[in-house]
Amino acid sequence: MSDQVTKIVIVGATSAIAEHCARLWLNGARCEVILLGRDLAKTERVAADLRVRGPQSLVSAQQADFADPLAIGRQVDAICATGPVDIVLIAHGSLPDQAHCQADLQANQEALAVNGISPVLFAEAFAGHMQRADRGTLGLIGSVAGDRGRKSNYVYGAAKGLVTRYAQGLQHRLAATNVKVVLIKPGPTDTPMTAHLKQDGGKLASVEQVAQEIVKGMAQGKLTVYAPGKWFVIMMIIRHLPHFIFKKMDI
């Protein structure tokens, strides 16, 4: 086994996708894994499970304030002060009810903040440190919902559209460095966040498959990872549908 230790930070570590990515990274590798979550007790439970799965690694949990930019900056500075980070995965978010967001502007604001603004603030905070170190891979989870606004989820889609444009800007900014920015666009995935979609008969990808494609895509330093890959073709078609056709679709 190599003596090299990979330093990994996962923001939103209690998400099912993030947890399964962590399991893959810990599989046989020596890592220092720092888990960030809003609920410290839940985050610590994930950490405890990962410690059993990867006894050769050091796994710690921290509570994070996802809404306060000053707190985000301080926490990221403290993490990076102990040494360069090799992998960052920003995975937090929620799937809001579209009708509720239309009727309640506060819910609308919260959905935009947690799914759009907060992830890009974490990305910006880590990007500066990674650029100075001239190393590392930053994975930012968006969504296929950000590729085109649709009536069924346009608040969530708008937030993820922000993540898409922001990641693309970071990719352009860091193109001449050794830092890789990977924009991740999962399709509907079988997680607790999408339980209602499963109850309604929706076809969902397994979280294990999505995590495998994310970890593989980040290792390869891809610009964009659609997970599963079929969503690249599906969303390309949806993006290019003429409006006179698109407006008739119930999606």
Q: Does residue 237 form part of some domain? A: yes
Digit-coded pLDDT (tens) for 61-101: 999 999 999 999 999 999 999 999 999 999 999 999 999 99
Alpha helices in 113-242 (DSSP H): 118-133, 154-173, 195-199, 207-220, 230-240
Mean pLDDT lowest among 2-6, 74-78, 135-139, 226-230: 2-6
Q: Does residue 114 form part of some domain? A: yes
Determine the structural domain holding residue 157 and report its residue range.
Answer: 6-246
Q: Per the structure block, which two tokens stand in for 192? A: 């607790």
Number of folded domains that form the chain: 1
* N- to C-terminal Cα separation, the chain: 50
Q: What are phi and psi of 205, to 5 degrees?
A: -75, 150
Q: Does residue 113 form part of some domain? A: yes
Alpha helices in the chain (DSSP H): 16-26, 40-53, 69-81, 98-103, 105-112, 118-133, 154-173, 195-199, 207-220, 230-240, 243-246
Asked if pLDDT for residue 161 goes beyond 60, the answer is: yes
Instruction: Decide: residue 248, CB within 10 A, 0-12 exposed, 13-18 middle, 19+ buried.
Output: exposed
pLDDT number for residue 202: 63
Digit-coded pLDDT (tens) for 185-197: 999 998 876 766 6
> How many residues belong to the chain?
251
Q: Does residue 177 form part of some domain? A: yes
Q: Does residue 1 form part of some domain? A: no
Mean of the pLDDT values across residues 184-209? 79
Q: Does residue 67 form part of some domain? A: yes
Residue 155: CATH number of its domain: 3.40.50.720
* Alpha carbon distance 103, 11 (integer Å): 30
Residues 129, 177: contact at Cβ < 8 Å?
no
Mean of the pLDDT values across residues 12-19? 97
pLDDT number for residue 200: 57
Q: Does residue 25 form part of some domain? A: yes
In DSSP terms, 6 is beta-bridged to 31
Q: Per the structure block, which two tokens stand in for 17? A: 């996708």
Side-chain half-sphere of 220: how many Cα atoms within 13 Å?
12
* Alpha carbon distance 99, 81 (integer Å): 43
pLDDT number for residue 199: 55
pLDDT number for residue 198: 55
Q: Does residue 251 form part of some domain? A: no
Q: Per the structure block, which two tokens stand in for 203? A: 């076809």
Digit-coded pLDDT (tens) for 106-118: 999 999 999 999 9
pLDDT number for residue 38: 97
